[in-house]
Amino acid sequence: MNNVPHRTFIFAGIGTVVAACLLVAVLGSDNAGSSAAEIYSGSTTQPSVTTPTTDIVPTDSSTTVAAPIDTAVLPDLAGTDPTADEPCTLRARSLGGGDSGDDVVCLQRSLIEAGYMSGTPSGVYDNATAVAVEKLQTERNLFVDGLTGRETALSLGIWPDEMSLVVRTPPPAPGAVDLLGYPLSSVATSGPDAPPLPPNSGTGRRLVFERAGQRVWAVDENNVVIRSWLVSGSKYNNETPGTHKVYSRSDVSTAWNGKAYLYKMVRWLKTDIGAIGFHALPIHVEDNSPYQTEAELGQRLSGGCQRQANLDADFIWDFAQVGTPVVVI
């Protein structure tokens, strides 16, 4: 028997089986998703397979489980934080029963912070607000009326910066005079050098007194500013705004409390405790010393009247006869 053909047949069969196995291995490989380049390379490196694992944490009955997160949409805090403790200032010159709005909220918040009220601001000047104001005024030795004016607001720190409203003009040159020839004081100016008249300050020959800026203008019949100067007006809310008239004059008068001489008094308003008017710097009765200096004019220092430098008092004494309009703003 010839064994050569038989061996050839066996080797051929073995080769066919090996080829078939290789084909099955390639087609069934876990790396079937690899790129053609990887397959073509003939690489025999098999990708590592990572089996997912789960950490096992021992159960502890004392462990606090976090509450589920609330996924509800919350509104954005846009603008001012309503809880912010920001300072406020009054815009109104006085507040009383029946008033409402932001100024009252400012007042009530300040009263709450100072311990005179409780609760939250309502924005309405009600009886509780008036009682709180009276308590503050009593404890701080202020005039007690339950109303909020300059002194009460100053005490609470909610009165605006007054000096920012005061316009100071350069001191005039030595010997300078106004449009009528009267010498100018250190706080006076004249004509086009004067600050402009406030709006809604009347017409015709008149005096204009602006409380916010502590300034007076003397105006002629053609609306020309003859002279303008600083004064020291009232610390209180007793200078009634509106149009008044000079009704009385005195070369020298005495303050309501008898402690001061008031020279060249020009009265334009009557009050329950005395008259209000323009006059020279007051003089102490006891020693003839002045109550203040010209440099302090522009500050609210009086009990009601408008204190002036002596040269300005000389001018107004001649300018403001009985019947002269006084416009108070």
DSSP for 237-305, please give it.
Answer: S-S--EEEE--EEEEEEE-TTSSEEEEEEEEEEE-SS-EEEEEEPPEETTT--BSS-GGGTTS--BSSS
| pLDDT confidence of residue 5 | 41
pLDDT at 153 over 70: yes
| pLDDT confidence of residue 287 | 96
| pLDDT confidence of residue 146 | 95
Residue 301's Cβ-count burial label (10 Å; 0-12, 13-18, 19+) is middle
- Alpha-carbon distance of 152 to 128, in angstroms, equals 16
Architecture of domain 165-328: Beta Barrel (2.40)
Q: Where are the domains of the chain?
A: 102-160, 165-328
Q: Is 129 left (phi over 0), alpha (psi -120 to 50) or beta?
A: alpha
> What value does the mean pLDDT take over residues 105-109?
96
Q: How many CB atoms lie within 10 A of CB 112?
A: 15
The CA angle 202-203-209, to the nearest 5 degrees, is: 45
> What value does the mean pLDDT take over residues 114-120?
95
pTM for the whole thing?
0.63
pLDDT at 255 over 80: yes
DSSP for 78-107, please give it.
Answer: -SS-TT--------SS-B-TT-BSHHHHHH
- Mean pLDDT for all residues in the chain: 80
End-to-end CA distance of the chain: 143
**Fold match flag (102-160 vs 165-328):** no
| pLDDT confidence of residue 85 | 59
Q: What are phi and psi of 173, to 5 degrees?
A: -65, 150
Pick from 208, 228, 231, 210: nearest CA to 297 = 231
| pLDDT confidence of residue 298 | 97
Task: Give the chain's radius of gyration (CA, Å).
Answer: 46
Structure tokens at 162: 């007054």
Q: What percent of the chain has pLDDT over 70?
A: 74
Answer with the residue of higher pLDDT: 316 or 56: 316
CB 232 within 8 A of CB 278: no
- Alpha-carbon distance of 121 to 132, in angstroms, equals 12
The predicted-structure confidence for 184-243, as pLDDT tens digits, reads as follows: 999 999 999 999 999 999 999 999 999 989 999 999 999 999 999 999 999 887 899 999
| pLDDT confidence of residue 321 | 98
Structure tokens at 180: 């009528």
Distance of CA 115 to the CA centre of its chain: 22
| pLDDT confidence of residue 194 | 95
- Alpha-carbon distance of 311 to 141, in angstroms, equals 35
Q: Kindly indicate the confidence band of residue 95, based on its pLDDT and cuts at 50, 70 and 90.
A: very high
The predicted-structure confidence for 266-288, as pLDDT tens digits, reads as follows: 999 998 888 999 999 999 999 99
> What value does the mean pLDDT take over residues 53-67?
39
**CATH for 102-160 (3.40.50.20, 1.20.1090.10, 1.20.1440.230, 1.10.101.10):** 1.10.101.10
> In Å, what is the CA distance from 162 to each residue of 116, 150, 158, 192, 235?
25, 10, 11, 25, 11
> What value does the mean pLDDT take over residues 125-131?
97
CB 220 within 8 A of CB 228: no
Structure tokens at 113: 């912070």
| pLDDT confidence of residue 132 | 97
